[in-house]
């Protein structure tokens, strides 16, 4: 994918200032029903979203461009140029929730500088939140409840041979109870994202603050690691595998640094998409260290394995699996590839400690995973 540094003559602005000419662009009132997206930088009126129609309206100033498009939701939309060199247009209704998008100027992909940047698909993307109704309050900030906080930390990995980043959520009561120890959930992002995905795109802290304040979930520490094998900048080589990093470096560091309960009954792991695969690889190979696990859009038994041979035979003895694993939670969106048949096969095989959850009307996207976390967290450590 080609990227463009914005010293290019077609500068994207959002109705404020054209950097090419240094002049003020007039701003017309937004069409009825449209408001600036919550993901905009604070001075930007566009992109604008309509909560009722779920459409988004985009504005790009690129006077010398021959064509401008918006790429969102797997489809490209042509914008129309006016006499001032401003391109405008809107996309079809989108599913509520968070979406990455990009601007294409004469076929070259660039970020829209009018939105916050979000790391996804292995580069910094523009993002837009299509507003959900009151049903989305569980992932919004609630001023009436106590709030935990997120610490960004680098720890040393002997396996990887370098420092690695993590975000760690600490519940609101942590500092007030200096003698209390807490269970730990290891929560992994998907392919192309990083350790910030759950705390930024996923609104994890708002979800957990609400669940804990309402008594639905027990207070817990949540560790959000980088799921990528990092490379050393001197040699551009990566070492180790991610499971070894989690088990040999990350878990010992967390147990040494925070007041954690270190037995398997108080340790869980969950991940979305590729992070779900990493969760199965890590937990199923270390059943002595975890008693709870979840995959969000990330559980698939290979076609020729069958239930008994899947994941090196971890399900072969259903009673033995249930004795070790308190909960296997599998979630998916109804608009994406579903593991429902595999879940039913596991139940028929005799696995009892399994829960299947579906997010209605969503695909492989952050709203699916926000909903999954909101359903999974209340079930663990009880």
| Six-digit token string for 21 | 């000419």
Give the Cα separation of 209 and 139 in Å (integer).
Answer: 9
> Cβ(351)–Cβ(314) under 8 Å?
no
Which residues have C-beta within 8 Å of that of residue 129, sequence separation ≥ 6? 37, 38, 39, 49, 97, 98, 99
Domains and CATH numbers, the chain: 17-131 (2.60.40.10), 137-379 (3.40.50.1820)
Give the Cα separation of 224 and 187 in Å (integer).
Answer: 5
User: Which DSSP string do the residues of 2-19 spell out, in sequence order?
Assistant: ----TTSSS---SSSEET
Determine the distance from the C-alpha atom of residue 184 to the mean position of all C-alpha atoms in its chain, rounded to a whole number: 19
pLDDT given for residue 307 in this prediction? 84
Which residues have C-beta within 8 Å of that of residue 133, sequence separation ≥ 6? 51, 96
Grouping H, G, I as helix, E, B as strand and the rest as coil, residue 212 is helix
Give the Cα separation of 314 and 177 in Å (integer).
Answer: 39
Helix (H) or strand (E) holding 253: helix 251-257
**Per-residue DSSP letter, 303:** T
Distances (CA, A) of 313 to 78, 216, 270, 345: 51, 34, 20, 14
> Cβ(354)–Cβ(330) under 8 Å?
yes
Give the Cα separation of 366 and 351 in Å (integer).
Answer: 29
Nearest to 323 by CA among 287, 349, 356, 295: 287
> Cβ(195)–Cβ(226) under 8 Å?
yes
pLDDT given for residue 26 in this prediction? 54
Tell me how far apart the 2 most distant CA atoms of the chain are, in Å. 72
Rounded to a whole number of angstroms, the distance between the first and last alpha carbons of the chain is 46
User: Which DSSP string do the residues of 140-166 spell out, in sequence order?
Assistant: S--TTS---EEEEEEEEETTTTEEEEE
Per-residue pLDDT tens, the chain, 382 aa: give them.
Answer: 434 433 333 333 333 333 333 334 556 789 999 999 999 998 899 999 999 999 999 999 999 999 999 999 999 999 999 988 999 999 999 999 999 999 999 999 999 989 999 998 888 999 999 999 999 999 999 999 999 999 999 999 999 999 999 999 999 999 999 999 999 999 999 999 999 999 999 999 999 999 999 999 999 999 999 999 988 888 788 889 999 999 999 999 999 999 999 999 999 999 999 999 999 999 999 999 999 999 999 987 776 677 888 898 999 999 999 999 999 999 999 999 999 999 999 999 999 999 999 999 999 999 999 999 999 999 999 9
Question: pTM of the full predicted structure?
Answer: 0.90
Give the Cα separation of 90 and 68 in Å (integer).
Answer: 12
Q: How many CB atoms lie within 10 A of CB 361?
A: 13
Using omega within 30 degrees of 0 as the cis cutoff, is the peptide bond preceding 223 cis?
Answer: no
Kindly report the length of the chain.
Answer: 382
Scan for tokens 């705390």, then name that residue: 199
């Amino acid at each position: 994918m080609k990227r463009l540094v914005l010293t290019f003559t077609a500068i994207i602005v959002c109705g404020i200032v054209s950097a090419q000419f240094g002049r003020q662009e007039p701003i017309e009132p937004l069409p009825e029903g449209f408001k600036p997206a919550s993901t905009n930088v604070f001075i930007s009126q566009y992109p604008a979203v309509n909560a009722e129609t779920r459409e988004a309206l985009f504005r790009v100033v690129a006077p010398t461009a021959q064509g401008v498009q918006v790429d969102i939701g797997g489809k490209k939309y042509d914008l129309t140029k006016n006499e001032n060199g401003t391109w405008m247009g809107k996309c079809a209704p989108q599913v509520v929730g968070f979406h990455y998008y990009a601007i294409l100027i004469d076929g070259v992909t660039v970020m829209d500088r009018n939105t916050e940047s979000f790391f996804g698909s292995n580069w910094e993307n523009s993002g837009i939140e299509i507003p959900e109704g009151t049903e989305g309050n569980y992932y919004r900030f609630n001023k009436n409840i106590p709030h935990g906080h997120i610490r960004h930390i680098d720890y040393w990995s002997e396996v990887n041979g370098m420092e690695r980043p993590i975000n760690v959520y600490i519940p609101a009561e942590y500092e007030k109870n200096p003698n209390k120890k807490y269970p730990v959930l290891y929560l992994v992002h998907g392919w192309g994202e990083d350790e910030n995905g759950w705390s930024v795109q996923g609104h994890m802290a708002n979800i957990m603050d609400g669940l804990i304040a309402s008594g639905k979930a027990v207070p817990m520490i949540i560790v959000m690691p980088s799921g990528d094998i990092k490379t050393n900048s001197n040699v551009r080589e990566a070492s180790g595998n991610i499971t070894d990093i989690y088990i040999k470096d990350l878990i010992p560091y967390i147990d040494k640094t925070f007041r954690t309960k270190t037995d398997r009954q108080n340790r869980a792991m969950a991940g979305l998409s590729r992070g779900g695969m990493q969760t199965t690889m890590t937990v199923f190979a270390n059943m002595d260290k975890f008693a709870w696990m979840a995959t969000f859009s990330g559980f698939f038994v290979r076609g020729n394995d069958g239930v008994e041979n899947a994941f090196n035979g971890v399900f072969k003895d259903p009673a033995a699996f249930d004795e070790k694993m308190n909960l296997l939670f599998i979630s998916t969106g109804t608009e994406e590839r579903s593991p429902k048949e595999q879940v039913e096969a596991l139940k028929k095989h005799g696995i009892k400690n399994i829960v299947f959850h579906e997010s209605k009307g969503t695909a492989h996207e952050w709203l699916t995973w926000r909903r999954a976390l909101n359903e999974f967290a209340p079930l663990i450590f009880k």
